[in-house]
A = this chain, B = another copy of it.
């Protein structure tokens, strides 16, 4: 028997910085299962930091230091209350480690370097970048009403925002390719400017100067809305999830 290299976590009881909590799956959004099945208050029991979207794709959410901000179709960030509901969200308890400072680097390069520094693409991790961005391009989806349309139809209705020389926080999660569908394989990153005037789902960015911090998780706690009858009876067989995610989220 060889040595026990992979150290196991303690019991699930600790709910510590090694765990990423996800409610719902990105795959649910593809056919339009957009009902809010968790709340900000509930999510806060699992973390103080995260991203998500509201019921009916009501904006792009970002949670920082326990405060949840929503960027809607007008581009402004507003803080949302504890009873705000979401179909899909990813949160964790922040314990980021400083990774490096970076200057004048585009989003794609930055993401590639972060994966490299992490060794490989087989672990869930979070990345946070605080700094000044010479360019930031984001989008926010537009809230839909039930009966909800599929994700691709909504992606066509998104609002886009551009900013230059904006100071703020980029928060993202990396999902190993094996878990594509549960989340977006690769990075899923949201932004919030320090003055709350700009934010959303990041489409492109150039970091002028900033600090990169990351946090690796050994555990994904994947919570599913098993009591939602629409989720329970949906047949995902015809949704071509991977293709739809690739088109709608990148």
Q: Give chain A's interface residues, CB within 8 Å of chain B.
A: 1-2, 4-13, 15, 19, 21, 23, 25, 27, 35-39, 42, 45-46, 55, 85, 119-120, 122-124, 146, 176-179, 181-182, 216-229, 231-237, 241
Residues of B within 8 A of A224 (CB): 122-124, 218-220
User: Could you tell me the distance in whole angstroms from the C-beta of A6 to the nearest C-beta in chain B?
Assistant: 3
Give A35 to B5 CA distance when docked, in angstroms: 9
Residues of B within 8 A of A229 (CB): 5, 119
Other than the given A1-B36, A2-B146, A25-B178, 17 more pairs (CB < 8 A) read A1-B55, A2-B36, A5-B229, A9-B223, A10-B45, A12-B13, A12-B21, A27-B178, A119-B232, A120-B235, A123-B226, A123-B232, A124-B224, A178-B241, A179-B182, A219-B221, A220-B224
Verify B223–A222 contact, CB threshold 8 A.
no
Verify B8–A223 contact, CB threshold 8 A.
yes
Partner of A178, one of B10, B182, B227: B182
Verify B233–A4 contact, CB threshold 8 A.
no
Known: A8-B39, A119-B233. A219 touches B227 (CB 8 A): no
Residues of B within 8 A of A12 (CB): 12-13, 15, 19, 21, 46, 221
Residues of B within 8 A of A235 (CB): 120
Verify B38–A228 contact, CB threshold 8 A.
no
Verify B120–A233 contact, CB threshold 8 A.
yes
Give A39 to B177 CA distance when docked, in angstroms: 26
Residues of B within 8 A of A217 (CB): 226
Residues of B within 8 A of A46 (CB): 11-12
Q: Which residue of B lies closest to A25 (CB)?
A: B178
Give A23 to B237 CA distance when docked, in angstroms: 27
Verify B232–A223 contact, CB threshold 8 A.
no
Give A188 to B121 CA distance when docked, in angstroms: 27
Which 10 A-B pairs give the minimum distances between C-beta atoms?
A6-B37, A6-B225, A6-B228, A220-B222, A8-B42, A12-B15, A119-B232, A218-B226, A178-B181, A11-B45
Q: Which residue of B lies closest to A179 (CB)?
A: B182
Verify A15–B7 contact, CB threshold 8 A.
no
Give A179 to B180 CA distance when docked, in angstroms: 9
Give A42 to B10 CA distance when docked, in angstroms: 8
Verify A122–B236 contact, CB threshold 8 A.
yes
Verify B5–A15 contact, CB threshold 8 A.
no
